[in-house]
Amino acid sequence: MKARLPEGMGKGPGNMNSMLKQMQKLQEDMENMQAGLEEQEFEISSGGGVCKIVISGSKEIRSITLDPEIVDPDDIETLQDIIVAGVNEAIKKVDAESQSQMSKLTGGLNLPNIPGIF
């Protein structure tokens, strides 16, 4: 005697295959999105524009440009603070863009962070 699942559950192997194909497509789309993001560059200014930072989508700092007026040997702490603030803002910008693109792919679903899956 076979056990029966309630109506609407376990629609057989065809449904599982379809779901697996959808998950594989989603994973491919996410990998393509990540590759595209890594090729992008973002420019961020801090300290009222005296510090400009260019960061890649993979969070690699490409350049830091300082306005000469901010370089004061008697006030190195301000310069350090401006650079730190700029780098942190740059990282936040990349994270926000990544999150935005991920939401577009997943339709706003809050998928768990499962290592090796996405």
What is the pTM assigned to this prediction? Answer: 0.64
Can you say how many angstroms the Cα of residue 38 is from the centroid of all Cα atoms in its chain? 9
- DSSP, collapsed to helix, strand or coil, labels residue 65 as strand
Residue 111 has pLDDT above 60, yes or no: no
The number of distinct structural domains making up the chain is 1
98 Cβ contact list (under 8 Å, min separation 6):
34, 37, 57
Give the residue-averaged pLDDT of 97-104. Answer: 83
Give Dmax (Cα) for the chain: 87
Per the domain annotation, does 111 fall within a domain?
Answer: no
Q: Domain of 65: which CATH number?
A: 3.30.1310.10
Per the domain annotation, does 112 fall within a domain?
Answer: no
Contact 110, 118 (CB under 8 A): no
Residue 74 has pLDDT above 70, yes or no: yes
Per the domain annotation, does 8 fall within a domain?
Answer: no
* Residue 39, domain extent: 13-106
